Copies of this chain bind each other. A is one copy, B any other.
Amino acid sequence: MAESTNMRLRLPLLCIILEVILIVLFGTLVEYNDDTDAKLWNENRNHSATRNDHENEFYYRYPSFQDVHVMIFVGFGFLMTFLQRYGFSSVGFNFLIAAFSLQWATLMQGFFHGLHHGKIHVGVTSMINADFCTGSVLISFGAVLGKTSPVQLLVMAIFEVTLFAVNEFILLSIFGANDAGGSMTIHTFGAYFGLMVTRVLYRPNLDKSKHRNSSVYHSDLFAMIGTIYLWMFWPSFNSAITNYGDPQHRTAMNTYYSLAACTLATFAFSALVNPEGKLDMVHIQNAALAGGVAVGTAGEMMLTAFGSMIVGFLAGTISVLGYKYLTPVLESKLKIQDTCGIHNLHGMPGVLGAVVGSVTAALASPEVYGHGIDFHFPTLVRTDTYVPLYPILLRLQRVFADVETGKWNPQSKGGFQAISLAVTLGMALFGGLITGLILKLPIYGAPPDTQCFEDGLYWEVPGEEESQHELYEVATSNEVEKLSS
């Protein structure tokens, strides 16, 4: 006998407790930063002739933030509405766990990115970072889509956000890695975390819900809304937290070209792998985005449009081939039930992106970057921020970095980019394993095997009596026409 899926007490209790904890922690730990605080901003303005209004980071980052925000809530939310009877849950649970994750991520990232006299400072950059971390959780959501209760998803988010912040801290602050668009921190991490969770939650009898685990005509169109928004705004995603000026500009452009090339590869291989040469919506909806993932690390470097297009083309190719040939094997052999195929959209392209980033970093030279090389590949420890683990960090720096100059050289930099990928994979798989085991406890109201991919379990679903009304309408509209004539 399956456990009850009634959410009446479990969901409200969890939501309210979490929000109260968040509010208390925000009340004690969070402060405005220099650019959002009325007093600090006006003081800085008075002390410096160069602090004009337009130099507030808001004007450099806010348009990018809003694009990222659209990707998180519309992009991810609607991308997952492709299932015929799971649209409410796709958009709705996406909404819920994103709204929670961005708050929790602000705290976790704030703690690890460096406290200021014991306080977390917030502004548009922390908002973007929180959205990024949320993106990682939503990627994992794609793997377990249709097979989890909202309570399970919130619990997963708690653990994943926390581990995301730890991994990000190791990569960015200890290894000094570059990963502006998050090929490693967001995509690789989110994908392998989610794949491990769905592996642990393996359902041998999932085929009882098989008839719902597919799309219908209109649900595929709703999903295309998600796809197109992700595709269009990915240049903003990858460039949102790069340095000001040329890096932000260049990153957006590299991503634009990578995605364009990726799209042609996707259409090409989607038709090629189909016996009748017909295009598959699953590929178009997903693989066309792989180009954005794959330049998430190298996009801010001098990858060039040429390099970006090659990377994008490769990403689209492996993504389509993954959907066609790898996903079925993962399910049958490795018992990984990956609803949205996140391995093909975020997993493999994320790893590709990390490798490309590593190579591009190793090839960096002052001839190419000019004075920009110091901005792109800075010294390890940013001494301007207080980090709790400062002493350990300094010691690690001496082990890894070029001792004489105190700076990275491109070759060692490339090596650390590669190590970052390995660490990310390890953290994701380990974290996913633990989280999966926790989610396996029979206390969260998970759907029974016969009721997966079904909104009716957790939502009041309106009757689809349209067609009957239709008839009624036809009858009455005749009357109306008489009236209106």
Contacts and interface: CB of A to CB of B under 8 A. Distances in A.
A150 to B, nearest CB: 7
A99 B260 contact: yes
Given A54-B55, A480-B456, A264 B18 contact: yes
A229 B81 CA distance: 16
A102 B235 CA distance: 15
* Count of this chain's copies in the oligomeric assembly: 3
A467 B464 contact: yes
B268 A376 contact: no
Interface in A25-44: 26-27, 30-32, 35-43
B228 A91 contact: yes
A391 B228 CA distance: 45
A373 interface: yes
A7 B278 contact: yes
18 contacts: A4-B485, A10-B277, A22-B309, A23-B261, A35-B249, A58-B248, A66-B236, A74-B225, A78-B225, A87-B220, A88-B221, A99-B259, A103-B257, A123-B249, A216-B465, A280-B460, A451-B480, A454-B477
Contact of A464 (B66, B92, B271, B470): B470
A250 B250 CA distance: 28
B19 A150 contact: no
A196 to B, nearest CB: 27
A39 B367 CA distance: 8
Contact of A245 (B41, B245, B372, B469): B41
A272 interface: yes
B245 A485 contact: no
Given A84-B466, A246-B42, A271 B8 contact: yes
A12 interface: yes
Interface string A275-302: 1111111001000100000000000001
A461 interface: yes
A16 to B, nearest CB: 5
B281 A459 contact: yes
Interface string A299-317: 0001011100110010000
Given A38-B302, A244-B53, A306-B26, A484 B103 contact: no
Interface stretch (A169-177, A185-193, A207-215, A431-439): A207-215
A96 interface: yes
B288 A95 contact: yes
A347 interface: no
B469 A228 contact: no
Interface in A232-277: 232-233, 235-236, 244-250, 252-253, 256-257, 259-261, 263-265, 267-269, 271-272, 274-277
B38 A123 contact: no
A330 interface: no
A180 interface: no
Nearest to A455: B217
Interface string A218-234: 10111011001101110
A57 interface: yes
A372 B249 CA distance: 29
A385 interface: no
Interface string A62-100: 110011011001100110010011011001100110011
Contacts of A384: none
